[in-house]
Amino acid sequence: MPSCLKCGTPLPVNEDGGAPVLCDRCAGAATGRARKAMATGTLRDFPATTALMAINLTVFVGMVVTGAGFLDFDPRAALRWGGNYGPLTLSG
């Protein structure tokens, strides 16, 4: 008779002669650990990421409201809002 790979409990054999690898108790514990590891959390669990997202969204909305454009930003507006442009950065 086959036994569980983790705890050694005897396992029932089905009508085809096959048996599971783990008993119900060990399989349930493994499933619970996997489910817990897959939890991604919420924005409250990652405050630095949430703060960076809020800052980016605020700047984006501010740029759109002041007329910088929605999808295609005017380069001058991007510079006014802190965009980096090499010749201006290096020479001034």
Same domain? For 85 and 48 the reply is yes
| Residue count (the chain) | 92
Mark whether 47 and 35 lie in a shared domain. Answer: no
Considering the chain, what percentage of its residues have pLDDT values greater than 70?
A: 85
- SS3 of residue 3 by DSSP: strand
Same domain as 23, residue 62: no
Looking at the structure, tell me whether residues 72 and 50 fall in a common domain.
Answer: yes
The answer to whether residue 48 scores a pLDDT higher than 90 is: yes
**Pair 20, 57 in one domain:** no
49 and 78 together in one domain: yes
- pLDDT in the model for residue 57: 94
pTM listed for this prediction: 0.48
Instruction: Name the most confidently modeled range: 1-5, 40-44, 49-53, 67-71.
Output: 49-53
DSSP 81: T
Residue 33: domain span: 1-39
Q: Which of 52, 70, 51, 53 is nearest to 61 (CA)?
A: 70
Domain count, the chain: 2
Residues 32 and 1 in one domain: yes
Kindly state whether residues 35 and 63 are assigned to the same domain: no
pLDDT tens for residues 15-39? 777 777 777 777 776 666 666 656 6
pLDDT score, position 2:
80
